Structure 1
Amino acid sequence: MAFNEVFQYSIVSALMDGVATHGIPIARVLEHGDHGLGTFRNMVGEMIVVESEVYQMKADGSVVHIDPETTITPFATVTRFRPTTTKKAAVSGKAGLEDLLNSMFPKARNHFLAVRMDGVFTKINVRTAGGQLKPREGMVDVCSRQTTHTFEAVKGTIVGFRCPEYVMGVNVAGDHFHFITEDRQRGGHILAFETDGDVEIGAAQLSNFHLELPSEDEEFNEATLKLQAQGIKKVEG
C-alpha cells in the first residue's frame, strides 16, 4: 500500500458481537502499515503498532513485544504513516487534542486522520481488556472487567486514528488512541491524558480506505452485526 492509506481487518461491530476466536497473522496486517492499533485473539489486551513493531499491552500491566508471524488478530487498523503536518504544542486532554487536530486539518471532518504524539505526559489514564471468558462473549462484557492504570510524569508515544462519524460500527467514530511508554514496558487504550509542556505531534489526512472481512469464519457469518453505537462509545471511553 501507498503511504497514508487505511487498511483494516474486520469491523468493530464484529468485536461487539464477540467475533474474536479467529483472525489473520499480524504479519499480514504489517504488509499494509507500520502504525496502528487493534486487539488480539479473544480480545486479550490492547495492540499498538509503532514503526512496524507490535506490542500487546495486557490487563496485568505487562507489555509483550510480539512475533507477528505467529500471533493472530481478529481486528486491526493500520497505515503506512508519513505525517503531512507536524507541530509542537501542549495538549490539554482529549478535548484539547480534538481542537488542535481541527485547526491542523480544517477540511478533514469527513476524512480519516492518522496521528502520533511523542513527549512527556503529566498524567495518562489507560485501560486494558483481560479477554473473553467464553467464545462469542461481546466486547461490552469483556470491557466490563477492564483494568485501568494511571501513569504520571511519563515519556512515551500515542498512536491512533480519528475516524469520521459515518464509519461507526465499521470502526470507532471519533478519536481512538493507544499509548506506550518510551521503554515499552507500560501502556494501554487512552481514557484521559495531559501533556507536560510541548509534545511532538504528527498527523496525516487519509482518503483511501481498504477493508478486509473475515472469510470462512463461522462466528463472523453468524453474527448479527447490528450497530451498537452507545455500546461502542461506552467501551471506547
Structure 2
Amino acid sequence: MASNEVFQYSIISALMDGVASHGTPIARVLKHGDHGLGTFHNMEGEMIVLDGEVYQMKADGSTIHIKPDETVTPFATVTFFRPTVTTRGTVTGKAGLKDLLTGLFPKARNHFLIVRMDGVFKTIKVRTAGGQCRPRESMVDVCSRQTTHTFEEVKGTIVGFRCPEYVMGVNVAGDHFHFISEDRQRGGHILSFETAGDVDIAAAQMVKFHMELPTEDDEFNEAELKLQAQGIKAVEG
C-alpha cells in the first residue's frame, strides 16, 4: 500500500457484538501500515502501532512489546504514515485537538486523518480493557470492567485517527487515540488529556480506505452487526 492510505481489518460493530476469538496475524497487518490502533485476541488490552512496532497495553497497567508473528488481532486500523502537515502547539483536551485539526485541514470534514503527537503531557487519563470472560461477550460488557489510569507530567506519544461520521459502525466516527509513554511502560486508550506546553504535531489527510473482513469465522458470520452508535460512543469515551 502507498503512504497515507487506511487499511482496516474487520469492523468496530463486530467488536461490539463480541467477535474477538479469532483474527488475523498482526504481521499481516504490518504489511499495510506502520502507525495505528487496534486490540488483541479476546479484546485483551489496547494496541498501538508506532514506527512499525506493536505494543499491548494491559488492564493491570503493564505494557508488552508484541512479536507480530505470534499474535492475532480481531480489529485494527493502520497506515504507512507520512506527515503532510507538521506544527507545534499546546492542546487542551479533545475539544482543543478537534479545533486544531479542523484548522489544519479545513476541507477534510468527510475524510480520514492520521495524527501523531510527541511531547510532554500535563495529564493523560486512559482506559484499558481486561478482555472477555467468555466467547462473544460484548464490548460494552468488557468495557464495564475497564481499568483507568491517570498519568501526570509524562513524556510520550499519541497516535490516532479522525474518522468521518458516515463510517460509524465500520470504525469509530470522530477522534480515536491511544497513548504510550516514552519508556514504553504506560499507556492506553485516551479518555482525556492536556499537553504541558507545546508538543510536536504531525498529521495527514487520507482519501483511500481498504478493508478486509474475517473469513471462515463463525462468530463474524453469525453476528447481527447492527449499528450501536450510542454504545460505541460510550465505550470509546
Partner Cα separation in structure 1 for residue 154 and residue 23 of structure 2: 34
Structure 2 equivalent of residue 74 of structure 1: 74
Structure 1 position 140, deviation (Å)? 0.3
Secondary structure at the counterpart of residue 171 of structure 2: coil
TM-score by length of 1: 1.00
Q: How far off is 1:236 after superposition?
A: 0.1
Shift >6 Å, 4+ stretches? none
TM-score of the aligned structures, taking structure 2 as reference length: 1.00
State the percentage of identical aligned residues.
Answer: 80
SS in 1 for 2:32: coil
In structure 1, how many angstroms separate the alpha carbons of the residues matched to 2:118 and 2:160?
12
CA-CA distance at 1:87 after TM superposition:
0.6
How far apart, in 2, do the equivalents of 1:162 and 1:224 lie?
Answer: 26
Give the CA RMSD over aligned residues: 0.2
- Once the two structures are superposed, residues 181-228 of structure 1 have per-residue CA deviations (whole angstroms, 9 ceiling, x without a partner) of 000000000000000000000000000000000000000000000000
Offset, 1:137: 0.2
Q: Kindly provide the amino acid, as one letter, of the partner of residue 234 in structure 1.
A: A
- What is the alpha-carbon distance in structure 1 between the residues aligned to residue 194 and residue 47 of structure 2? 22
Map 1:1-237 onto structure 2 (within 5 A): 1-237=1-237
SS in 2 for 1:184: coil
**Cα deviations across residues 153-198 of structure 1 (Å, max 9, x unaligned)?**
0000000000000000000000000000000000000000000000
- Provide the C-alpha distance between the structure 1 equivalents of 2:56 and 2:148, rounded to a whole number of angstroms: 15
Secondary structure of the structure 1 residue equivalent to 2:68: coil
| Deviations 1:103-148, CA, capped at 9 Å, x for gaps | 0000000000000000000000000000000000000000000000
**Counterpart Cα distance in 2 of 1:76 and 1:207:** 18
One-letter code of the match for 2:99? D
Counterpart Cα distance in 2 of 1:16 and 1:5: 25
Q: How many Å separate the matches in 1 of 2:11 and 2:178?
A: 18
> Within 2, Cα distance between the matches of 1:219 and 1:167?
22
Structure 1 counterpart SS, 2:132: coil
- For 2:12 and 2:96, locate their aligned partners in 1 and report how far apart those are by CA, in whole Å: 26
Give, in whole Å, the separation in 1 of the partners of 2:72 and 2:40: 6
Aligned partner of residue 70 in structure 2, secondary structure: coil
Unaligned 5+ segments in structure 2 are none
| C-alpha distance after superposition, 1:80-102 (max 9, x if no partner) | 00000011000011000000000
CA distance in 1, matches of 2:197, 2:226: 42
**Unmatched runs of 5 consecutive residues or more in structure 1:** none
- SS of the residue corresponding to residue 69 of structure 1 reads helix
